[in-house]
Structure 1
Amino acid sequence: MALSPPELYHTEFVRSARAVGVLWGVCTVCLAVLQVVVLVQPAWVVTTETSSSASGTLGLFQVCVEGDWPGPDCQGSPSALAPLPAFQTPAVLVCASLGAVWTSAACLLLFRVCHSAAVFKSCGWLQLTAGVCLSLACLLFLDSWDCAEMRALCGDRVGSFQPGNCSVSWVFTLALLGVLDSVILATLAFVLASRQDALLPAETRDQNLLTNP
Structure 2
Amino acid sequence: MLAAQEVAQLYQTDFVRNARALGALWAVCTLCFAVLEVVVLIEPSWVRAAGQARPPAPAGGFGLFEVCLETDGPPECRGSLATLSPVPSFQTAAVFVCMALALVLASLGGLGLYRFFSPATVYKVCAWLQLSAASCQALGCLTFPAGWETAEVRRLCGPQAGSYALGACSIHWAFVLAILGAMDALVLCGLAFVLGNRQDTLLPEGFRPPQKAVSNVI
TM-score range, shorter chain: 0.7 to 0.9
Could you say if the C-alpha distance between residues 173 and 105 of structure 1 is closer, same or farther in structure 2, counting changes exceeding 3 Å?
same
Query: 122, 127, 136: which is aligned to 1:124?
Result: 127
Aligned to 1:6: 8
| 8 Å CA contact retained: 1:35, 1:175 | yes
Per-residue Cα deviation, 1:130-183 (whole angstroms, up to 9, x for no partner): 111111111111122111111011111101111111111000011011100010
TM-score (normalizing by structure 2)? 0.86
- Give distance in 2, aligned partners of 1:114 and 1:77: 40
Aligned to 1:26: 28
Could you say if the C-alpha distance between residues 39 and 118 of structure 1 is closer, same or farther in structure 2, counting changes exceeding 3 Å?
same
| 8 Å CA contact retained: 1:44, 1:57 | yes
- Give distance in 1, aligned partners of 2:147 and 2:156: 14
| 8 Å CA contact retained: 1:35, 1:178 | yes
- Give distance in 1, aligned partners of 2:215 and 2:158: 70
Deviation of 1:110 (Å): 1.3
Q: Does the alignment pair 1:205 with 2:213?
A: yes
- Give distance in 2, aligned partners of 1:206 and 1:158: 59
Could you say if the C-alpha distance between residues 197 and 104 of structure 1 is closer, same or farther in structure 2, counting changes exceeding 3 Å?
farther
- Give distance in 2, aligned partners of 1:36 and 1:118: 27
Could you say if the C-alpha distance between residues 193 and 54 of structure 1 is closer, same or farther in structure 2, counting changes exceeding 3 Å?
same
| 8 Å CA contact retained: 2:51, 2:60 | no
Aligned to 1:57: 61
Query: Unaligned regions of 5+ residues in structure 1, if any?
Result: 209-213
Which amino acid is 2:77 matched to? C
Q: Does the alignment pair 1:93 with 2:96?
A: yes
- Give distance in 2, aligned partners of 1:11 and 1:76: 54
- Give distance in 2, aligned partners of 1:207 and 1:124: 20
TM-score (normalizing by structure 1)? 0.88
Deviation of 1:77 (Å): 2.6
| 8 Å CA contact retained: 1:117, 1:193 | yes
Which amino acid is 1:154 matched to? C
Aligned residue for 1:195, secondary structure, equals: coil
RMSD of the TM alignment (CA)?
2.4
Which amino acid is 1:19 matched to? A
Q: Does the alignment pair 1:178 with 2:178?
A: no
Could you say if the C-alpha distance between residues 6 and 22 of structure 1 is closer, same or farther in structure 2, counting changes exceeding 3 Å?
same
Tell me how many residue pairs correspond in the alignment.
205
